[in-house]
Amino acid sequence: MQVIQSNPSWQLAASVTPTPHGHHLIISSFVPTARRPEHQVKFSGTFSDAELRHLAEIVTRALGLPENQPANETKSV
């Protein structure tokens, strides 16, 4: 799980795991101050390579990055 958003009372995490049927995407939340702190799955789904690439393209466009540049890379000058 990679934390994508957090503050002292809450965090949001995501993971993508390869499976024989595609890629399993999980988005979960965690409230460390809860009476019984535990990760709670907010979304879970299995995606094909094409579907996961399409999701990555949507995020790339939302960030205003060039289509052929992954969101985690920066452009060299």
Of the candidates 48, 68, 47, the one whose C-alpha atom is nearest the C-alpha of residue 57 is 68
Task: Report the residue count for the chain.
Answer: 77
The predicted model gives 41-46 an average pLDDT of 96
Report the percent of the chain where pLDDT is more than 90.
69
Would you kindly state where each structural domain of the chain is located, as residue ranges? 2-62
Query: What average pLDDT does range 7-33 have in this prediction?
Result: 94
For residue 1, give the nearest of 24, 34, 33 by alpha carbon.
Answer: 24
